[in-house]
Amino acid sequence: MEADIVIVGAGSAGCALAYRLAEAGVQVLVIEHGGTDAGPFIQMPAALSYPMNMARYDWGYRSEPEPHLGGRRLAVPRGKVLGGSSSINGMVYVRGHARDFDHWAEAGASGWSFADVLPYFKRMEHWHGGADGAPSDWRGDSGPLHITRGPRKNPLFQAFVEAGRQAGYPVTEDYNGHQQEGFGAMEATIWRGRRWSAANAYLKPALKRPNCTLIRALARRVVIEEGRATGVEVTRGGRTEVIRARREVVLAASSINTPKLLMLSGIGPAAHLADRGIAVVADRPGVGGNLQDHLEVYVQMAAAQPITLYKYWNLRGKALLGAQWLLTRGGGLAGSNQFESAAFIRSRAGIEYPDIQYHFLPIAVRYDGRAAAEGHGFQAHVGPMRAQSRGTVRLGPNPEAPPEIRFNAMSEARDWEEFRACIRLTREIFAQDAFKPYVKHEIQPGAAVQSDDEIDAFIRDHAESAYHPCGTARMGRRDDPGAVVDPDCRVIGVDGLRVVDSSIFPRITNGNLNGPSIMVGEKAADHILGRGLLPPSNAEPWINPGWRIAQR
């Protein structure tokens, strides 16, 4: 089998890339190890805690013991299914802040500033959030990716936004538009009560074209002949074969599996490859380095009124929601991810743009689906956006072994300072008058946890990954020894090979990474097609005018 372009990975970026290349008439073949995304556990938004905990849909990775988190191993779910992690995530849609992308350009990813990427965010979006339609300067209204807002019928959603206003923070009409900073409605990749994954938005329409093909196989390595990628070695049906690429191979296998495939192909830190008995094709020390993530904790409050989702957190309640969704495929509780209010704030004066994110949820529950023992409650997921700590992805002892993931989380003193601020600022928000009718007491961390040392101990025991790993094949100048790909997403040192996924992020963006990952696939398609990029935008984002002297 062969094609013009062979894409490894049917995840967020890979699906978008396949769609745009096929649309342009290129013959595309997509390799995906995972299976079908059919079934209610993936497609029903309210069931979001299930697929990321199911071996059928998740690679099941865990980090190595984290020395600064008491030796705990963090869960690192990655989608092993059509749509990749967009089929098992929380469906939250965040573009990132404009300054995130300006930093990319300053770090050597020329052509990836906010002005450059905004047209691609607009091209991919079909936004349903505006009462009067999508403002043309900021949002798209005809792209494949439907973006909606929940109904916010539970009074706790409005209480969260009002508490932010009472605490002195701005309220934003659209954190993905002109002004990210502030409290407001959260957006989601949900359409007509169904998860609108990259598979639903991009891959399935692409596969209706005769020039786009999907095969189920496990990619083992990129075949490189005389310095050029010519295909991908895969196993399927118990046999090993090579799928040939007439023009290029593109790795879009996630920020965990893409560096693994690069290293198995001889591209990576020479000493590490030699240690694993792999011949070096290109010594790129940045492969598998620069690993970043968002850590978060759940600040949980016991509810004074029985208005939370806890009343559905039993077999009968879940069965009712499931039946409602199966019968109507509509909205209601089953058609929402329940993350319907959000906030982005700055931790202190002197920070130009937000460095703290909130997801608000009207139940006290863990991502693995275990509810708080105290019954009715609600919580804010909170964590810093731009941690200083950096980790690595390295090969396991053999090619079949899972990669060794070390986040090295909380290894920098400033990360602790920012995380303490997260918890203290959250407590202040929950203490506002808007929450007075609803707060009974604090469940977690608990009123007794007050000093720096006590808060640090809570963080050490309870901080979890927000499942936003990125940066492990970062984009930069071709003469940058730490860069892995150039601004055209081409792997430095090998011809005919590109990386198109969150691996290439020079620095992690504000918020959830699904949106920026899809944008990378959209924009990379134009780089590959060589047909010219969309004209840069002149839109100017809002920056708090008092940021130098005030925290809010």
* 52-94 confidence digits (pLDDT tens): 889 999 999 999 999 999 999 999 999 999 999 999 999 999 9
Q: Would you state the pLDDT for residue 135?
A: 56
In terms of domains, do 425 and 515 share one?
no
Cα–Cα distance measured from residue 379 to residue 497, given in angstroms and rounded to the nearest whole number: 44
Q: Quick one: tokens of 130?
A: 């505006």
As a whole number, mean pLDDT of residues 348-369 equals 92
Sign, Cα dihedral of 321, 326, 328, 329: positive
In a domain, 399, yes or no: no
Give the CA distances from residue 439 to residues 2, 312, 448, in Å, rounded to whole numbers and listed in that order: 61, 20, 17
Which of 128-137, 241-250, 433-442 is the least confident region?
A: 128-137
| Residue 392 in domain | no
Nearest to 11 by CA among 528, 516, 527: 516
- Kindly state whether residue 528 falls inside one of the protein's structural domains: yes
Boundary (domain end) residue, out of 462, 479, 506:
462
Tell whether 336 and 222 lie within a shared domain: no
Q: Is 233 exposed, middle or buried (0-12, 13-18, 19+ CB in 10 A)?
A: middle
| 72 occurs within a structural domain | no
Residues 474 and 458 in one domain: no
Average pLDDT, the chain: 95
pLDDT tens-digit readout, 444-465: 999 999 999 999 999 999 999 9
316 with 326, same domain?
Answer: yes
- Residue 468: what pLDDT? 98
The pLDDT assigned to 334 comes to 86
Q: Is residue 264 part of a domain?
A: yes
Query: Are residue 349 and residue 219 in the same domain, yes or no?
Result: no
Domain identity same for 274 and 301: no
Give CA–CA dist 291/408, Å, rounded.
Answer: 9
Mean pLDDT over 496-509 rounds to 98
Least confident of 15-24, 362-371, 515-524: 362-371
Q: Is the pLDDT of residue 370 over 60?
A: yes
Same domain for 242 and 266: yes
Confidence of residue 49 (pLDDT cuts 50, 70, 90): confident
Same domain, 319 and 172: yes
Q: Which residues contact 231 (CB under 8 A, 6 or more apart)?
A: 2, 6, 222, 223, 242, 243, 244, 245, 249
The whole-number pLDDT of residue 330 equals 64
For the cut 60, the answer to whether the pLDDT of residue 134 exceeds it is no
Domain shared by 139 and 271, yes or no: yes
Q: What pLDDT sits at residue 323?
A: 86
Whether pLDDT at 130 is above 80: no
In the predicted model, is pLDDT for residue 272 greater than 90?
Answer: yes
pLDDT of residue 111: 98
Q: Pairing mode, if any, of strands 228-236 and 218-225?
A: antiparallel
Report the distance separating Cα 286 and Cα 126, nearest Å. 36
Please tell me whether residues 334 and 432 are part of one structural domain: yes
Residue with tokens 């990952």: 517
- Regarding whether 315 and 340 lie in a shared domain, the answer is yes
Structure tokens at 6: 């062979």
- Predicted confidence (pLDDT) at residue 45 exceeds the cutoff of 70: yes
Give me the number of domains the chain comprises. Answer: 2
Binding residues for FAD: 81, 89-92
244 and 355 housed in the same domain: no
465, containing H or E segment: strand 464-465
- Among 91, 115, 120, smallest CA distance to 518 is for 120
User: End of a domain among 446, 462, 478?
Assistant: 462
Q: Give pLDDT, residue 129.
A: 82
Show which of 462, 484, 503 is a domain's final residue. Answer: 462
> By residue range, what is the domain housing residue 177?
151-185+295-384+410-462
Instruction: Flag whether 393 is in a domain.
Output: no
Q: Where are the beta strands (DSSP E) in 346-452?
A: 356-361, 377-384, 392-394, 404-406, 439-444
Q: Is the pLDDT of residue 373 over 80?
A: no
In this predicted structure, the answer to whether residue 131 has a pLDDT above a threshold of 80 is no
CATH number at residue 220: 3.50.50.60
- Compute φ and ψ for 196, nearest 5 degrees: -100, 75
pLDDT confidence of 546, banded at 50, 70, 90?
very high
Give yes or no for a contact between 219 and 232, defined as CB atoms under 8 angstroms apart.
yes
Question: Quick check: bond before 445 cis, omega within 30?
Answer: yes
The DSSP-derived string for 146-200 is EEEE----SHHHHHHHHHHHHTT--B-S-TTTT--SEEEE-EESEETTEE--HII
In tens, the pLDDT along 28-41 reads 999 999 999 998 89
Parallel, antiparallel or unpaired: strands 404-406 and 439-444: unpaired
**Residue entry with tokens 């002892």:** 397
- Percentage of the chain modeled with pLDDT above 90: 89
Catalytic (active site) residue 146: no
**What's the mean pLDDT in 18-35?**
98
Q: Look at residue 531 in the predicted model and tell me its pLDDT.
A: 87
Would residue 548 count as lying in a domain? no
**The pLDDT of residue 460:** 98
Q: Residue 156 maps to which CATH number?
A: 3.30.410.40
Pairing of strands 28-32, 212-216: parallel
The reply to whether 402 falls in a domain is no
Query: pLDDT tens across 288-344, in order?
Result: 999 999 999 999 999 999 999 998 888 888 888 888 888 877 667 888 999 999 999
- For residues 107-135, average pLDDT: 89
3-state secondary structure 48-107: CCCHHHCCCCECCEECCCEHHHCCECCEECCECECCHHHHCCCCECCCCCHHHHHHHHHC
Write down the pLDDT at residue 367: 66
Across 415-433, average pLDDT: 98
pLDDT tens profile 152-181:
999 999 999 999 999 999 999 999 999 999
Q: Taking residues 119-141, what's their average pLDDT? A: 84
